[in-house]
Structure 1
Amino acid sequence: MDEPRGEDDYSFALETSEAARKKRHHWMTSRRGFALVGLSVLLLLAIVQWRHHQSANRSEEFLPTALRGMRALREQRFEEAHELLDDALGKLNDEQRQRDDVADFRQAHAELGILVGLLDRPLDEALSSPADRSLLKGQTLVIDAEVSPTDDGWRIGHVAFMGETPVAFDPAGLRLFDQLGIDSPTRLIFGAGLDEPRLLEERWYLRLDVDSGVLLTDPGIADALGLLGDSGSRERLVEQHQLFESARTPAGSND
């Protein structure tokens, strides 16, 4: 005949049951955790794949749109060309936009940006009006001048006037000059975005948006800007295009 269970026996049974319950709970919790982690990984992979697919689709749309923009440029439909190239470049991510095979499209888009954003009056006239001076920022300007490196930046050999007061260009210059590797006085035809003039040590300086510099190379755009008054101007555009090409070609790439 079985002996009656003592109090210790029931206590052991309860402890064993509780341990088993905790073990099952831990196992189920761990399993849920692994399932959630696995689901999160799958979801992340799906998002990455979807984004890659979307990016691939958009990049495939780049070339047809860009070519339409270049066609509009050749046909001198400048605003349409700028909009199409803007749309085309917007389909690429930052890395894709910096590829060598996109450089000509970037350059055309930048030159068109100078043309469509051009200041609608002579610079001296705009500078002479306080109301107009406040509206200069964001508009563009074309400059035909000698550019020289200096100890504190750059000297642009063109002086504007605010009434009878001469206004020099801010020595901060443009990043374009660094990219071109200018180390001696060089005559350039370039465009840039304007900023507001500033008074420094009782002298007025006209600031340029340092990231906005564009070397002009396209004959159609140059003609629309009134820059092809003589045969020498065309030759200079050819020289500038060669300068643009050499600036974007890494050193030693032709070895």
Structure 2
Amino acid sequence: MKIQSILFAVLLSLLPAAVKAQSTSSVPFMPQISSVTDDMIQTQEEGTVFKRKFGFGGQFTYNWVPEFWLHIAVKGAHDVSDSSFGGRFIYRTKNADVTFKLMYWKINQPSGIWLGINHDWADAEWTEFDNLQFLYGEIAVTWNTKLVSLFNGRSNLFFIYGFGIGGGTVMGDVYTTPAYGCTADNYKDPQPTGSPSACTYTPASSEREKEDIPRAMGALEAFIGLRLDLMDMLSLKGELGIFLPGFLQASLAVEFYF
């Protein structure tokens, strides 16, 4: 009984100290209320979209290669312009987005006289592009720099920049037929054999050949643009960039976050 009385007295003496310690400290795995409040205030000031870690969306891209650009490597060239579209899955952090894209590109390259830079005009060929397509995947990293808050802080505008790398498969075929009498002055107006044009080709020629083209092609992209967060769960992105092997691009993307 004496030992029990001593233990009981010790417990009574320790109880006030334990209560005091508990009141001035927090449970290890539970943050103090003030720290949670501070984090929430900081979040409201900086925008809450970065808390949405995952998202998905769609992208539309206009692709263009001006003729003068192609003349770097091609003597006989034409403007090429077309569009591509696809889907994207995004992992967003506070300062950067990591985007996984799957894109489909219908390459409407015009048929005509195409000639490499190291060839003479006597080697000119009528070139037909039959249903050329490019299906590719890409991983892109986009850095976000906040510019301004809009609509009383409900929306935020960001400057964005980044790069992407990937690859895919080329579908479709390319056919060539010898052309005659073509020069730098008339190659844009070829006519079938028998016409008064000086640049001619024979559509049903036995010399028409199917060319070997690479079925796998890499993709490398660099871009800048703007991002507008309309609300916590919705972002719009506009981008301008260059897409190797040589296309200029303008893209618009819509992204939803959860």
> Normalized against structure 1, the TM-score is what?
0.26
Higher strand fraction (1 or 2):
2
Tell me which of the two structures has the higher relative contact order, counting C-alpha pairs closer than 8 angstroms and 6 or more residues apart: 2
> Normalized against structure 2, the TM-score is what?
0.26
Higher helix fraction (1 or 2):
1
